């Protein structure tokens, strides 16, 4: 039995410890927002937060998350009001949308550690692949999310 906290709730799974976390999330727990892309940890479609860090779940054994805190796209903000989610919509980032949950999770992790990222910070942190090529909109949305986060921190209501 492997125990961890998933989206703020204690979770126990009885699976082979070598099973990739991606398949535990999708197949065992029914959280399908985290996507399968490449299966080798390169594309980032499977990105979630592990103790606040962006990680690729397709190559991460579930045994490695015992006792950890996991946040998936479903747990980032139940009502879609996280600043990154708001900025994504405002800037019309997705085209096909397949990679977007991983992109959003990577961006949210970046802004947690670097609240006012430079373009170089964004390029270093955002290694997720977008087949549609919406990288310019992704950068714009991350800058906007940083602004929205500052507004939230200052107690202002973001729209």
Phi, psi of 8 (to 5 degrees): 85, 0
> pTM for the whole thing?
0.92
Q: Please tell me the predicted confidence (pLDDT) of residue 86.
A: 96
* Separation between Cα atoms, residue 38 and residue 15, nearest integer Å: 22
Give the residue extent of every domain in the chain: 2-76, 83-153
* Separation between Cα atoms, residue 99 and residue 102, nearest integer Å: 6
Helix (H, G, I), strand (E, B) or coil at 129: coil
Fold of 2-76: Ubiquitin-like (UB roll) (3.10.20)
DSSP state of 158: P
Instruction: Output b/e per residue, 123-153; b: 16+ Cβ within 10 A.
Output: eebbebbbeeebbebbbbbbbbbbebbeeee
41: number of CA atoms within 13 Å, CB side? 9
Q: Please tell me the predicted confidence (pLDDT) of residue 154.
A: 67
Q: Mean pLDDT by 10-residue block, N- to C-terminus, for the chain (159 residues)?
A: 98 98 98 97 97 98 98 94 96 92 98 95 95 94 95 60
Q: Please tell me the predicted confidence (pLDDT) of residue 148.
A: 94
CATH code, residues 83-153: 1.10.150.120
64: number of CA atoms within 13 Å, CB side? 14
Helix (H, G, I), strand (E, B) or coil at 56: strand
Q: Which of 93, 94, 95, 86 is nearest to 146 (CA)?
A: 86
- Tokens, residue 33: 């927002």
Instruction: Give the DSSP H or E segment for 141.
Output: helix 135-153
């Amino acid at each position: 039995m492997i125990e961890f906290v998933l989206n703020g709730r204690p979770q126990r799974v009885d699976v082979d410890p070598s099973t990739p976390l991606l398949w535990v999330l999708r197949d065992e727990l029914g959280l399908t927002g985290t996507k399968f892309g490449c299966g080798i940890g390169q594309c980032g479609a499977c990105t979630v937060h592990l103790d606040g860090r962006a990680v690729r779940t397709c190559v991460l054994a579930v045994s490695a998350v015992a006792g950890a805190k996991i946040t998936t796209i479903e747990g980032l903000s139940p009502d879609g009001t996280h600043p990154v989610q708001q900025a994504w919509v405002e800037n019309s980032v997705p085209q096909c949308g397949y990679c977007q949950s991983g992109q959003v999770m990577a961006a949210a992790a970046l802004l947690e550690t670097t609240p006012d990222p430079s373009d170089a910070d964004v390029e270093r942190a955002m290694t997720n692949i977008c087949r549609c090529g919406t990288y310019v909109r992704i950068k714009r949305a991350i800058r906007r999310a940083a602004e929205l986060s500052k507004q939230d921190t200052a107690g202002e209501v973001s729209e």
